[in-house]
Amino acid sequence: MYDSEVAEIWDAIYTGRGRDYGAEARDVAELIRKLRPDADSLLDVACGTGEHLRHFRGLFGHVEGVELSGDMIAVGRQRSPSLPLHQGDMRSFDLGRRFDAVTCLFSSIGHMRTTAELNAAIGRLAAHVGPGGIVVVEPWWFPDTFADGYVTGDVVRSGERVIGRVSHSRREGDVSRVSAHFTVAEPEAGLRHFTEELLITLFTREQYEDAFRTAGGTVEHLPQGPAGRGMFVGVFS
């Protein structure tokens, strides 16, 4: 999951299909500052290649990232060697310091497989904010908003490379199986193809809210959010 083949093309495919990491970072910063005007430090958990962090860095005095995939981190470090990226698992990481805000974006939280894992992850996010700290989590679809059988695809150009991604999402109980096929065409190397299979849990809104409350926070659900999947915003005292 999120190995070198995917890591290498991640930013190209998502920015190429229209994601604006800069605008998303600004919106999240605005959300945080509404509740915590003096917020100056931010930790992004499951930060991928650190693309949001590259923008958060201009909006906060101090930023760091945590990410499970060594390959995603390697790409992030290559692009921004000065960005502090830590390898860690959101269910168990401990950086030994606290931040004014912690984020977990683009539905990365959906990689938790059970409510026990969800609670553990929200607990670790909460443990990394100080008093009055803000935790922002962008969830995956809920069971009643997930579109079973959803298909999509994009072809993007990145320098001399052309990348195609076609995906199909299917519901299997309380989990969605997202199957993606990638094709990369390069002038010298030619064509290559690989696939990725992700299981992303369809937690309910109540399960997310319970996890925030169990971790000791208040929580609000905002229906909008960058990908239309909403946003949970928690405040921890």
Ligand X SMILES: C[S@@+](CC[C@H](N)C(=O)[O-])C[C@H]1O[C@@H](n2cnc3c(N)ncnc32)[C@H](O)[C@@H]1O
Question: Which residues in this chain contact ligand X in the complex, by CB under 6 A?
Answer: 2, 46-48, 51-52, 67-69, 72, 89-91, 105-108, 111
Rounded Cα gap, residues 104 and 180, in angstroms? 22
Nearer to ligand X, 108 or 169 (CB): 108
Q: How far is the CB of 70 from ligand X (least distance, A)?
A: 9
Q: How far is the CB of 107 from ligand X (least distance, A)?
A: 6
Q: How far is the CB of 218 from ligand X (least distance, A)?
A: 24
Do residues 212 and 219 lie in contact, with contact meaning Cβ atoms separated by under 8 Å? yes
Q: How far is the CB of 89 from ligand X (least distance, A)?
A: 4
Rounded Cα gap, residues 187 and 191, in angstroms? 9
Scan for tokens 């190429």, then name that residue.
16
**CB closest to ligand X, residue no:** 48
Q: How far is the CB of 204 from ligand X (least distance, A)?
A: 20
Nearer to ligand X, 15 or 185 (CB): 15
- 109 is written with which tokens? 């939280």
Nearer to ligand X, 12 or 185 (CB): 12
- List, in order, residues 6 or more apart from 74 with CB less than 8 Å away: 4, 7
Neighbours of 172 (CB within 10 A): 10
Q: How far is the CB of 159 from ligand X (least distance, A)?
A: 20
Nearer to ligand X, 19 or 185 (CB): 19
Do residues 113 and 199 lie in contact, with contact meaning Cβ atoms separated by under 8 Å? yes
Nearer to ligand X, 20 or 218 (CB): 20
Please state the φ and ψ torsions of residue 79, each to the nearest 5 degrees.
-75, -40
Neighbours of 49 (CB within 10 A): 29
- 160 is written with which tokens? 């001399």
Rounded Cα gap, residues 147 and 157, in angstroms? 28
Nearer to ligand X, 69 or 201 (CB): 69
